[in-house]
Amino acid sequence: MVQTGPITENAVVIVFGASGDLAKKSTFPALYTLWEEGLLPEKTRIIGYARSKLSEEKLDEQLFWKIRDDAEQGHRKEDPEKMKTFEGLVKYVQGAYDKDEAFEGLEKEIQIIEKDVFSGQKSNRISYLALPPSSFAQVSAMIKKHNYNPNQINRLVIEKPFGKDTEDCKKMMDSIAKDWEEEEVYRIDHYLGEEMIREIYHLRFANSFVEPLLSNKHVEAVSVVMKETFGAEGRGGYFDEFGMIRDVGQNHLLQAIAIMMMDAPTSLADDSLRSNKVNLLQAIPPVDPANLVLGQYAGAESGPREDGTGKAYLEDETVPDGSKTATFAQWAMQVDNERWKGVPVLVKCGKALDKGLMEMTFHLRPPPSNIFDVPKHSNSLVIRMNPEPAVFFKANMLKPGCRGTETTEEEIKWTVPGRKVAGDKLAYEVVLANIFKGDQSLFVREDEVIAAWEIFTPLLQHIEAPDGPAPTLYPYGSAGPKEQYEMEENFGLMSTRGS
């Protein structure tokens, strides 16, 4: 039986891939913040592990650069003494990912910590794989073989993407499951740690006026929009391999949909929250390729910009010549259960668009007795993550003046002072803290990952077939391909043209 529960002392965190971007930009800054706020277990030590041979100067640049940069940018208070103390908790170990002797060397370093820091007591271990998914199976097997402590708590942390389709995901999950129990595996989709995503639980289940609205009795359509103003600059190699749907659609956006549309969990103390998300995902049929719009950004109409942006996707040196990878995607889904049957869910996401935006809108049906003849979908519930985190209703109110019963659309909005705009920093702090607590509610279960892939795999196979659809070009900095508006109108939504 595996050891579970919170880790309260003698913790060793091994960050595999310590010299990479993920560790440098997210993992180490989050660990530093948790340590600074006193949220790490007593006597925590951190080992950065990677293949690179790093000098002391290079080590500082790779592991701690982002922490110092945040201080210089004013995102955290600069404290050289604290930084020096934190650095003393971190040790770097160079080693291969496929050699037994390398992991045996890592184990010797852990045992030195146990002897010198933990007074001979065995350590609880968190193995954080800040690595490409192709390495997960091999590295997790090596950790289990050489660095697993059977009498203490062991946790394996991996990050999306979890494969590229259903079969690839199952192969990865099966490989890890040979060595690790499900209770020991923490699958990060950092979007679940975003403050406004976590706010949804309170919005729905800590209030009496929202939950009754969320069904086909009151909701006529749902729309989800994620727009980014930047392109794939510098990330073309990674992005082109996965594309827009795999990058954010199959994970981030689907998670937000599941949390907002699932049935209420029975408790936060059991696993009913994740089980209800799985039930919701399993009720969504595979996306029909007929309900799809794809786009790829061309150059900005005004030409390249001074900061280097504004170039066409295919002009990016890291993008393969002639790539058909979509940088914009819009699709329609449905949920075939009693609660949501008949309600279309339209999702769009894209890069190099006119503005940054992430919001979910539940378009409400007109009032039964529409005595004021209000327009269709003039009532809606909106949850906005970016740019201004907020929850608001769009409502029809009396227009001021002497015009009798004329109505005007108003927003009844809730914003919280100091609410953080969505971003990786806080999300990683939250999910890392929950790893130490042993709380898996913000992590993705194996059956949940597979259910998500089953929704999109047939669509991705259609897109990536030799005769698959070519994306429509749209200018960098525009609203995206015009076909999106026709699709919205076909599903009874007011066009977002010009918005």
Contact 132, 16 (CB under 8 A): no
User: Can you give the pTM of this predicted structure?
Assistant: 0.90
Quick: pLDDT tens for 164-188.
999 999 999 999 999 999 999 999 9
pLDDT in tens, 339-393: 999 999 999 999 999 999 999 999 999 887 776 777 777 789 999 988 888 999 9
Task: Give yes or no for a cis peptide into 6 (omega within 30° of 0).
Answer: no
Q: Of 3, 102, 30, nearest to 433 (Cα)?
A: 30
Residue 424: in which H helix or E strand, if any? helix 424-437
pLDDT at 309 over 80: yes
Q: Which of 327, 249, 338, 321 is nearest to 287 (CA)?
A: 249
How far is 14 from 31, CA to CA, in rounded Å?
12
126 and 202 belong to one structural domain: no
Residue range(s) defining the domain that contains residue 366: 193-422+445-490
Q: Who has greater pLDDT, 418 or 9?
A: 9
Q: Can 252 be counted among the known catalytic residues?
A: yes
Q: What is the mean pLDDT of the chain?
A: 90
Is the same domain home to 145 and 254? Answer: no
Distances (CA, A) of 254 to 248, 277, 282, 336, 383: 8, 10, 12, 15, 15
**Of 190, 252, 363, 377, catalytic:** 252
Give domain status of residue 297, yes or no. Answer: yes
Q: Is residue 305 part of a domain?
A: yes
User: What is the pLDDT at residue 353?
Assistant: 97
Tell me which DSSP letter residue 292 carries.
E
Say which residue the tokens 């000098």 belong to.
55
CA distance linking residue 405 with residue 104, whole number of Å: 79
Contact between 223 and 360 (Cβ < 8 Å): yes
**Cα–Cα dist 128/126, whole Å:** 6
pLDDT of residue 422: 47
Distance, in Å, from the CA atom of 475 to the CA atom of 351, rounded to the nearest integer, reads: 11
Is the pLDDT assigned to residue 419 strictly greater than 70?
no
Average pLDDT, stretch 3-22?
Answer: 93
- Same domain flag for 201 and 150: no
pLDDT at 394: 85
Neighbouring-strand partners of residue 91 = 47
Task: Look up the CATH number of the domain holding residue 391.
Answer: 3.30.360.10
Both 211 and 286 in a single domain?
A: yes
The residue out of 111, 139, 159 marking a domain boundary is 159
Query: Is residue 423's pLDDT more than 60?
Result: no
Are 338 and 455 in a shared domain? yes
Residue 66, classified by CB atoms within 10 Å of its CB into exposed (0-12), middle (13-18) or buried (19+), is buried
The neighbouring-strand residues paired with 473 are 296
Q: Tell me: cis bond preceding 387? Omega within 30 of 0 counts.
A: yes
